[in-house]
Amino acid sequence: MIEELAVVVKIENHQVWVESGQNNACGGCQQKASCTTNAIGSVLKKKSVPVDCNIQLKTGDEVMVAIDENLLLRASLLLYLTPLIALFTGAGIADWMLPDNDRYADLWIACSALLCFVLSLWLINKAQSLLILNYYARPVVVRKI
């Protein structure tokens, strides 16, 4: 499980809205101006995220939020690798099917690659909305700090 310290900002119907806590490693760093972790963290910690919770909490509590890394890894492979494979497959099929003396072969190959890429994204979205693919990595509150 990947764990992160967070602060409860809102509570609704067995769901808790949390914001990421400050990273202790960046607290006293002298290179905040050139640090990308600090820049990304300053933007992302402003956003609250809903997480599932079975623990009695109140606003302002510090909690440990966790997400399953195996599910997160499989979801990232699906969302990054599948469209990439579709992109190259679409280009390869178009290149194989087109005659050698076609004047617009490069345009057809590019359009076919783009079409297969967009089609793969649409199919992934449809499969997730129909719950065929259960790769929705939902964070949960593990414990109160």
Domain region containing 8: 2-68+139-144
- Evaluate whether residue 83 is within a structural domain: yes
Total of domains in the chain: 2
Neighbours of 47 (CB within 10 A): 8
Q: How far is CA 106 from CA 9, 33, 114, 125, in A?
A: 53, 45, 12, 29
CATH of the domain at 56: 2.40.50
How remote is the C-alpha of 20 from its chain's centroid? 16
Closest CA to 110 of 85, 81, 87, 83: 87
In a 3-state reduction of DSSP, which class is residue 2? strand
In a 3-state reduction of DSSP, which class is residue 111? helix
Q: What is the predicted pLDDT for the residue at 46?
A: 65
Q: What is the predicted pLDDT for the residue at 145?
A: 83
The verdict on 46 and 84 lying in the same domain is no
The verdict on 47 and 92 lying in the same domain is no
In angstroms, the CA 142 to CA 23 distance is: 18
Neighbours of 63 (CB within 10 A): 22
- Evaluate whether residue 134 is within a structural domain: no
In a 3-state reduction of DSSP, which class is residue 84? helix
pLDDT digit of tens for each residue in the chain (145 aa)? 888 888 888 888 777 888 876 555 555 566 655 565 555 455 445 678 888 788 888 888 888 888 888 887 888 888 899 999 999 999 999 999 998 888 899 999 999 999 999 999 999 888 877 766 565 667 888 888 8
Q: What is the predicted pLDDT for the residue at 112?
A: 96
In angstroms, the CA 116 to CA 126 distance is: 15
The verdict on 47 and 74 lying in the same domain is no
Does the CA dihedral 112-115-119-121 come out positive or negative?
positive
